[in-house]
Amino acid sequence: MSASSHSRLADRIDWTSSSLLKSMRWYRVLFATAVSFRTCSDALSVTDLVKISTVVSTVTLLSANPTVAESSGRRLLRAGKTANVDNYSFKDVDHDDNGDDKTEGDNVTTNERVGGTGGIEKLNSLKISKWSVPKAVNSFSEKILPALPTKAKLQLWSNHGKSVNFVRKELGLDELAGAAFTQAKNFQYYDDFVTSQLPIWAKKELTPDKVEAQLGLQGLSGAALTRDPDFKYYDEFVTKQALVWSKQDLSVDAVLVRLGLNTLTGAARTNAANYKYYDEFVIRQLRSWMAQDVPVTDVMAKLKLDKLTGDAFLSHSNYVYYKSFVKSKLRTWATDGESLDDVALKLGLEDLRGKTLETHPNYKFLVKYWEKREQYLEEGWLKQGVTTFDIWKKYEVGRVHPSVLKGSYTYEFYKRYVTLIDDYIIGLHGRGFKFYELPRLTSKAATPEELHEKTLIWTTAKRPEWYVKFSLGLDGLGENALKEAPNYQFYEYYQRAVKYINRTREKGPQRNSALASINNGIIESVARVIAGDTGCWTSAGEELTRGSKRSRAGYGAKRALLCMRDARGGVYGEGEEAGGVEGSMAYVLTAGLSSVLGIAIGKGKPECALGL
């Protein structure tokens, strides 16, 4: 290499070193800014902090010592030249006679490049060992963290596993309580931090008592626990855990242990703060068992009730869940038309007899099924959206002769279902449901006969006008459209009947008094018939004769009783069994004689009113 080339290379090295030293002054400023952006956008790991701290310390050392900085600059250039040796031209290399390769600049000694022997010693004294990294990290935290945004600090604290108590103190909230705590300026940051820890605790599978300790809630109970501002985080955590436990199909005993309820019994367990999470868990399990059609006997075992009888069975805290499950099953079985024998089999009672059967915990459910299977069936139809016309067809109500229709079982069954639907829909409306939200359970295929009978039921039950219009599909129609609608005739019939009933009520009290007198005499005579007084017919006849002179209702009632007597073949005698007469007279009583006579007065047709 020529002298001029060597001189230019030296000048270039000096300029590069000087520029490097000047730029190092800004490294720390730029670095701090970069850290702020990095922290806000992404989490800094411990490794990141170690690397950053090492660089900061190195930059600080280099910029603080000109000798080291200059030497480092030269090493940097030399390293770059060595790394790219293949790109250099070999024309700058001289070969001595002894064959050694030597460049023209190699006569400068190592000591001169690093500033002499003293420079090497200073450089060695400034070397950073791996053991000095923690100090660098601490120094970084002390100098950089105060300048970071609060959200960035939250992320760093979360990454480093800082406790809730530590964060509360760092945010200046440790001395606050109650409203002063929740309304503090930094509370939102605290709320964000604790909320972010919940999934972390769940992933670590922390138990509720450990989360309680994390939140500083240990030792609290009752109102003191639920009023604490940190309780909402505990509540959210355990509520979600109860869902996880349900998906994992944990046993009830395992959940009791996790909630610390296994050592409690009776009211102490059900009144505990954690019992509501157990309740949520078991309810989810019941739904799952219903969906999977788990046998009743298996559910009894899952709830730890299979070994209990009598009071021990009924007083167990899990009995309410078992009872709810079995009642749901009874409704399902009734809707499916299961026989009594089939239900006994499903309840585990198939081989039991006598006292063994009657003392079994499930026997009461078998009896309930027998007594309420029709009610359960009707309620099941209601849930399925079965219309009254569906029942009319299913039980062939229209095929029953009109003379015996009202007293038939099929009609009573139909009427009961109509009443159930009416009560249900009117109840929904009373709770605030809009018309478009109410179910329409009147079939478009309904026959005039079915709609007529249903209108009579509505009139007798005094259903509101809006409901009759709604059920007939006439709500929302204008005057012309209303009158042209196919079902308008039934609505018109309903209106006429309501007007008649209201007009009857407006009659003076004299008629009511006379009617009451007649009824009292009839009831007394009927009571004597049921008691076995064979001469009561004379008394009843006299009473009815007196009543018939005062009102046409009395005449109708007299004829009704006389027809019943004639049907028995004469006066009630000693040789006859009382069952038929008692049944007939009891029917008169239970039919509501006052209502019947009231209708007869207005229509003037007691024969029709009394069904004769």
pLDDT of residue 502: 79
Residue 289 has pLDDT above 60, yes or no: yes
Hey, is 263 helix, strand or coil?
Answer: coil
CA distances from 373 to 303, 365, 423 (A): 26, 11, 20
- For the chain, which residues make up each domain, given as ranges? 3-83+105-137, 161-292, 293-383, 385-505, 509-609
Higher pLDDT residue, 282 or 564?
Answer: 282
The mean per-residue pLDDT over the stretch 575-597 comes to 39
CA distances from 447 to 1, 189, 316, 469 (A): 117, 68, 53, 17
pLDDT of residue 145: 64
pLDDT of residue 566: 46
Q: How far apart are CA 161 and CA 567, in angstroms?
A: 94
Would you say 348 and 371 are in contact if contact means Cβ atoms under 8 Å apart?
A: no
DSSP 282-333: HHHHHHHHHHTT--HHHHHHHTT-TT--HHHHHHSTTHHHHHHHHHHHHHHH
Residue 202 has pLDDT above 60, yes or no: yes
Higher pLDDT residue, 126 or 527?
Answer: 126
Closest CA to 350 of 295, 280, 284, 411: 295
Q: How far apart are CA 183 and CA 190, in angstroms?
A: 11
Higher pLDDT residue, 548 or 457?
Answer: 457
Ranges assigned E (strand) in 100-198: 101-103
DSSP 454-494: HHHHHHHTT--HHHHHHHTT-TT--HHHHHHSTTHHHHHHH
Q: How far apart are CA 332 and CA 577, in angstroms?
A: 43
| Least confident stretch, 92-106, 127-141, 412-426 | 92-106
Backbone angles phi, psi at 133, to 5 degrees: -65, -45
Tens-place pLDDT, residues 235-269: 999 999 999 999 999 999 999 999 999 999 888 99
Would you say 610 and 600 are in contact if contact means Cβ atoms under 8 Å apart?
A: yes
Would you say 305 and 318 are in contact if contact means Cβ atoms under 8 Å apart?
A: yes
pLDDT of residue 149: 87
Q: How far apart are CA 176 and CA 190, in angstroms?
A: 13
Q: How far apart are CA 239 and CA 220, in angstroms?
A: 19
Tens-place pLDDT, residues 10-51: 565 555 555 544 555 545 544 544 544 444 444 444 445 444
Lookup result for tokens 């000109």 = 66
| Least confident stretch, 130-139, 226-235, 267-276 | 130-139
Q: How far apart are CA 205 and CA 477, in angstroms?
A: 62
- Output the pTM of the full model: 0.58
| Least confident stretch, 52-61, 214-223, 404-413, 487-496 | 52-61
Tens-place pLDDT, residues 42-63: 444 444 544 444 444 454 444 4
CA distances from 419 to 25, 38, 234, 278, 495 (A): 91, 70, 48, 39, 19
Tens-place pLDDT, residues 346-398: 999 998 999 999 999 999 999 999 999 999 999 999 999 999 999 999 999 99
Q: State the average pLDDT for the chain.
A: 74
The mean per-residue pLDDT over the stretch 450-454 comes to 95
Hey, is 352 helix, strand or coil?
Answer: coil
Residue 188 has pLDDT above 70, yes or no: yes
Higher pLDDT residue, 581 or 74?
Answer: 74
pLDDT of residue 196: 95
